């Protein structure tokens, strides 16, 4: 334990990978509020596959339009077909070939898109998860986990929906309309130019109107995410809900969220229907005018029968195409609004981030220094006020003081959960400022046993291995033995393969505590932080766990917060903190003889014990 193990750094891919991830995170943050650019950067990761999908769609639409022109040639060849069948046969063969090619190109592009679009959603989830996990604890305390999970999924789903809608709903009618206009130019140039001008104006108006409705779509996306977050919050606290007979109360609360979400959804959908109604009226008038124009040309002998059929079919293609395009555009607008809303929540700038290419923490000796640190949480008074403390390597130091004195903040700063401002002091390990080293190497050097143990809904083996994923089962069992939880493992039907439930709900508090100690043994970090690790346990469990903690503390630098002073009896030092300042420091024996907070607490405990009241 003379130096920090490099397993976390190696797992993270080393300094070069760390620099790459840092640059990607900073680049990703720039896309907050820029959903189209965010989408394009994911498309740009797979340019070849997206190009093949695009080419397939263009080719399929081209074949479809060409087949209509081939039908026009067939109709014009029919009057002379009996005398000259070669023209009819040639037109028939061209139509058949185009029909087969049309279907082939659709299927090829569809096959490629299945893999490509799904892979993009994986990219989105993977990168957003990596970005979100780099946020500070303040961010996670202000945003509900259910809402975060919902927005990560919503962003990926929005990207998938946009790609699918553009590829299969928006792009084909757009290409059809443009191709139809080009073919109409073969019949009459002025007809094509007028149609092009009207289509561009109509598309611009629809796009402008669709953009004006984006706030309605974003409101719906926000309300939907709030409902998801509320559901997760209530379900995650179902034991408390039942304890206080609050099922009806929570149902009423959820109804209020659902009513707001349904109202915003109806507003969003009604706006889309208004756009579709406007477009339907415009395209119906346009198609009628187009058909009347070509019939007038036919009466004057300036258009053939095939031309009339061609213009009629192309007119209907334009009618249906622009209608589908309008529907697709407003749908895409809605999906883009959802993407923008989710991205704005997830891609907020990180409050605390490591420098790109930050070096790994090198531990020569595991000493700790707080150098004149002043720290305050946002909008609150300073918790630490010019706080200084030096802890030698291998020392066991207990933190004592009233609630709100700053004890928990000291552990948080040591883990770099927060950073003190540059001008307000520094926290250092082995002479290196924590703000200047990589977070992975820092956290690899520290093991934590908290009061509230957090376990994953996975097997005991996976939970214990969490700090050392490559540990063998023999190493895990050895750690369990040292943590006094081997009997627990053997008592379970599935042993280490037992699934512990949500947050370890299938284990008692003492059992979860021993699993956390076993996890810390396996991690084998040079610095150990104990945050009231035995305060919530009964006396029997506390004694067993205290023995395990004594083994765990051997040879490590230990900083502990203890509610029960008896757990600090064998510590080297007790540091007394009040109002964010160090007010006393000494061995347990020295402080018990010196007037102050520590001795006052001891005297109160003795009086309670004399009265038959025990902690």
DSSP string, 61-79: HHHHHHHHHHHHHHHHHGG
Number of other residues whose CB lies within 10 A of the CB of residue 239: 8
Positive or negative CA dihedral for 401, 371, 592, 393?
positive
The pLDDT assigned to 288 comes to 73
Read off the DSSP letter of residue 594.
S
Number of other residues whose CB lies within 10 A of the CB of residue 202: 18
Q: In the chain, how long is the greatest CA-to-CA distance?
A: 124
Tell me the pLDDT tens digit for each residue of 339-377. Answer: 887 787 788 777 666 666 778 888 888 899 999 999 988
Query: Rounded to 10 degrees, what is the CA torsion of 240, 243, 244, 245?
Result: 110
The pLDDT assigned to 410 comes to 92
pTM, entire model:
0.64
The pLDDT assigned to 323 comes to 66
Mean pLDDT, 10 residues at a time, the chain of 615 residues? 43 49 65 82 91 94 82 73 73 84 90 92 86 75 71 85 89 83 73 72 70 70 72 71 74 81 79 72 72 73 67 68 71 79 77 72 89 86 91 91 87 87 88 87 87 83 86 88 85 86 79 86 89 62 74 88 77 90 87 79 65 47
Residue count of the chain = 615
The pLDDT assigned to 108 comes to 93
The pLDDT assigned to 542 comes to 65
Rg (C-alpha) for the chain, rounded Å, is: 35
32-346 CATH pick, 1.10.10.10, 1.10.1040.10, 1.20.1560.10, 3.30.1180.20: 1.20.1560.10
The pLDDT assigned to 559 comes to 92
Q: Are 369 and 389 within 8 A, CB to CB?
A: yes
Tell me the pLDDT tens digit for each residue of 14-28. Answer: 545 555 555 666 677
Number of other residues whose CB lies within 10 A of the CB of residue 498: 19
Positive or negative CA dihedral for 469, 472, 478, 480?
positive
* Non-local CB neighbours of 88 within 8 Å, separated by 6+ positions: 74, 77, 78, 81
Q: Are 362 and 355 within 8 A, CB to CB?
A: no
Helix H or strand E segment including 371? strand 368-376
The pLDDT assigned to 57 comes to 93
Tell me the pLDDT tens digit for each residue of 66-93. Answer: 887 777 777 777 777 666 777 777 878 8
């Amino acid at each position: 334990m003379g130096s920090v193990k490099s397993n976390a750094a190696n797992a993270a891919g080393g300094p070069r990978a760390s620099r790459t991830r840092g640059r990607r995170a900073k680049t990703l943050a720039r896309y907050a509020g820029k959903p189209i650019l965010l989408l394009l950067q994911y498309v740009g990761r797979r340019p070849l596959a997206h190009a093949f999908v695009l080419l397939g769609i263009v080719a399929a639409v081209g074949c479809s339009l060409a087949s209509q022109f081939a039908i026009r040639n067939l109709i014009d060849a029919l009057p002379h077909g009996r005398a000259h069948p070669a023209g009819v046969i040639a037109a028939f063969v061209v139509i058949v070939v185009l029909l087969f090619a049309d279907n082939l190109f659709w299927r090829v592009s569809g096959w490629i898109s299945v893999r490509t679009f799904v892979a993009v959603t994986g990219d989105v989830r993977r990168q957003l998860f990596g970005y979100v996990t780099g946020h500070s604890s303040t961010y996670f305390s202000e945003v509900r986990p259910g809402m975060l999970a919902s927005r990560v999924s919503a962003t990926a789903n929005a990207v998938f929906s946009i790609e699918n809608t553009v590829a299969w709903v928006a792009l084909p009618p757009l290409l059809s309309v443009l191709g139809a206009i080009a073919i109409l130019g073969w019949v009459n140039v002025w007809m094509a130019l007028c149609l092009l001008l009207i289509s561009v104006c109509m598309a611009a108006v629809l796009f402008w109107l669709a953009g004006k409705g984006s706030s309605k779509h974003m409101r719906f996306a926000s309300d939907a995410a709030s409902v998801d977050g509320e559901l997760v919050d209530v379900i995650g606290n179902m034991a408390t809900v039942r304890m206080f007979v609050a099922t009806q109360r929570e149902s009423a609360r959820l109804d209020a969220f659902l009513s707001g979400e349904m109202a915003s959804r109806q507003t969003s959908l009604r706006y889309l229907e208004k756009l579709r109604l406007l477009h339907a009226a415009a395209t119906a008038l346009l198609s009628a005018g187009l058909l009347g124009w070509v019939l007038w040309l036919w009466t004057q002998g300036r258009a053939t029968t095939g031309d009339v059929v061609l213009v009629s079919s192309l007119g209907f293609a334009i009618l249906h195409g622009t209608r589908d395009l309008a529907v697709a555009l407003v749908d895409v607008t809605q999906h883009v609004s959802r993407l923008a809303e989710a991205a704005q929540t997830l891609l907020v700038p990180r409050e605390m981030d490591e420098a790109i290419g930050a070096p790994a923490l090198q531990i020569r000796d595991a000493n700790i220094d707080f150098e004149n640190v002043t720290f305050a949480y946002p909008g609150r008074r300073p918790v630490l006020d010019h706080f200084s403390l030096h802890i030698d390597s291998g020392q066991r130091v207990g933190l004592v003081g009233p609630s709100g004195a700053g004890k928990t903040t000291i552990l948080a700063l040591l883990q770099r959960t927060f950073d003190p401002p540059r001008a307000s002091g520094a926290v250092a390990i082995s002479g290196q400022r924590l703000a200047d080293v990589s977070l992975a190497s820092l956290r690899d050097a520290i093991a934590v046993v908290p009061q509230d143990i957090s376990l994953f809904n996975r097997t005991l083996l996976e939970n214990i291995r969490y700090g050392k994923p490559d540990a063998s089962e023999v190493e895990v069992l050895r750690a369990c033995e040292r943590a006094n939880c081997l009997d627990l493992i053997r008592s379970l039907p599935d042993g280490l393969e037992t699934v512990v439930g949500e947050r370890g709900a299938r284990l008692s508090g003492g059992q979860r505590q021993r699993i956390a100690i076993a996890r810390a043994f396996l991690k084998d970090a040079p610095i150990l932080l104990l945050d009231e690790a035995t305060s919530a346990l009964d006396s029997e469990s506390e004694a067993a766990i205290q023995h395990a903690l004594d083994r765990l503390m051997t040879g490590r630098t230990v900083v502990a917060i203890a509610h029960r002073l008896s757990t600090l009896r064998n510590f080297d030092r007790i540091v007394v903190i009040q109002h964010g300042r160090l007010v006393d420091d000494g061995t347990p024996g020295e402080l018990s003889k010196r007037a102050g907070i520590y001795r006052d607490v001891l005297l109160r405990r003795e009086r309670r014990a004399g009265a038959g009241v025990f902690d």
